[in-house]
Amino acid sequence: MKDHEIVAQYYDGNPQLEWDRLARSGPLRPEFVLSARYLERYIRPGDRVLDLGGGPGRYSLHLAQMGCAVTLADLSAGNVRFAAEKARQMGLPLRALQANALDVKALEGERFDHVLCMGPLYHLLKHEERVLCITNALRLLRPGGCLFAAFIQH
């Protein structure tokens, strides 16, 4: 089984777990609150945002609540379904699609004001894959746009 299949299988199994991990209350609350505050410095209502590897949509839905046009793309079909259902429940517009950060053909030709890459770099262990992920994110970013990335240094 390939690395990306293992990651997708893990997140397909329980999207609620990742959603709860970044809850607005609880032990990891600071991660979400601090990240959201930083995003809010640069992202404005009406901006087009791509949440590449957006998981169950915690950041996507926060930005949609701000009035952004958000596209969530995630490797896990379970995460994509979960995020789309949360958006429906909250009455928020969200474009959600299954896509691998290493292969963004489904988004070819699109440009976004901001690209979030808050998840994929945690799971990409090979240097070449991390470079490809960031290259793809930058290709989808409009000139002058902002790329937000989170990672663990290997």
- Identify the burial level of 134 via C-beta atoms within 10 angstroms of its C-beta, where 0-12 means exposed, 13-18 middle and 19 or more buried: buried
pTM for the whole thing? 0.87
Q: Kindly state the DSSP code that residue 25 receives in the 8-state scheme.
A: S
Asked whether residue 90 carries a pLDDT value surpassing 90, the answer given is yes
Candidates 142, 135, 134, 144; CA nearest to 48 is: 142
Write the pLDDT tens digit of every residue in 28-68: 567 788 889 999 999 999 999 999 999 999 999 999 999 99
Write the pLDDT tens digit of every residue in 2-22: 777 766 676 667 877 777 766
pLDDT for res 9: 75
